[in-house]
Amino acid sequence: MTTPPGWYPDPGQTPQLPPQERWWDGSTWTSHTRPGTGVAAPLPGRGGGAGRGPLVAGIVGSIVLAAALAVGGVLLLGGSDGSDDKEPKAASSSSSKPSESPEAEKPGPDDDKPAPHISPGEVVSIPRFGVGMTVPQGWELKNPDSSFLSYRGSYPCPKPQSTPCVRGGAALHRFPGVWEKDSLKQIAEAEVAKNAKESYGKKAYGGITSHKVTESGEVTVAGRPGYRIRWRVENKLEPDADVEAVVFRSPHDRQDILVMWSSVDVSDGGPSAADLDELRKGLVKTELGRQDDGNTEAV
């Protein structure tokens, strides 16, 4: 049975990046991608069980990644920690119907153009959250449609993968729960664990053997109360990593909690843990634009 056109998990997902989806036109994969929805879905044209590449990079169980969310190549993150390395089965007409392809998603003459150059210190605006991410020295915007920041360059993952790993990554998403039920500290504790598992999973790094908290405490993010927790994780296969989760109340909606996953390899020639501080301090309030439900809110 032919798999219908729609959004499906990207078969070329870059290890250590947040999950993303790619548009299947009914016969082949196109160049169009978007942030993952956090909902498992079969891939077209393959057999086997479900699986996902490593991260930073990028999310994520019950978390709905906004803008694909995740953290890329390390940054956000390493790989999925799932033990099932089989390829997903082909989608059938009985599977949940993917969203329709917008006109903007149709292939065009500019599909293969490189991502725009982002200078250090420049703010990448994420309108759906009303927050901007300031780009640290040595970092870049890999995909202008995803708003994922990652450290420049890549390297072969410790365990061979079809795509390479990156030294660092960061991405934002909206906390899917209700913040009144949990303190910011409790949410941060849960989010840093998810970040570590997704970013440095078994598929690319052999799994995490231990971790310790190296930084934690209340912070102010984009002018709002927040909490951050950083782990130093030891992986079965080098490199080890610094992994952080920053949770903070939205500067636009007091009912929303935003989360930034970020991480960097502990390695020579790559980003340092100080970049995680820069990423957090570089979160700023921006104009609130189109929301996930398609509505536009005024600031």
- Its pTM surpasses 0.75: no
pLDDT value at residue 167: 95
pLDDT value at residue 255: 81
CB 20 within 8 A of CB 73: no
Total length of the chain: 299
Cα–Cα distance, 240 to 25 (Å, whole number): 39
Cα–Cα distance, 241 to 156 (Å, whole number): 16
Q: How far is CA 291 from CA 4, 131, 180, in A?
A: 27, 12, 22
Q: pLDDT 10s per residue in the chain (299 long)?
A: 567 778 888 887 766 667 778 888 777 788 777 877 655 455 565 433 322 233 333 333 333 333 333 354 433 333 444 443 333 333 333 333 333 443 333 433 334 445 556 778 899 888 888 999 999 999 998 776 677 899 998 999 999 888 899 999 999 998 887 656 568 999 999 999 999 999 998 999 999 999 999 999 999 999 999 999 999 999 999 999 999 999 999 999 878 899 999 999 999 988 999 999 999 999 999 998 754 443 434 33
The closest alpha carbon to 172, from 257, 287, 53, belongs to 257
User: What backbone torsions phi and psi does residue 294 show, to the nearest 5 degrees?
Assistant: 90, -5
Cα–Cα distance, 233 to 242 (Å, whole number): 6
pLDDT value at residue 269: 82
pLDDT value at residue 180: 60
Residue 294 in tokens: 């398609």
pLDDT value at residue 150: 92
CB atoms < 10 A from the CB of 220, how many?
A: 12
CA 232 to centroid of chain Cα atoms: 19
CB 73 within 8 A of CB 163: no
pLDDT value at residue 36: 73
Q: What is the largest CA-CA distance in the chain?
A: 53
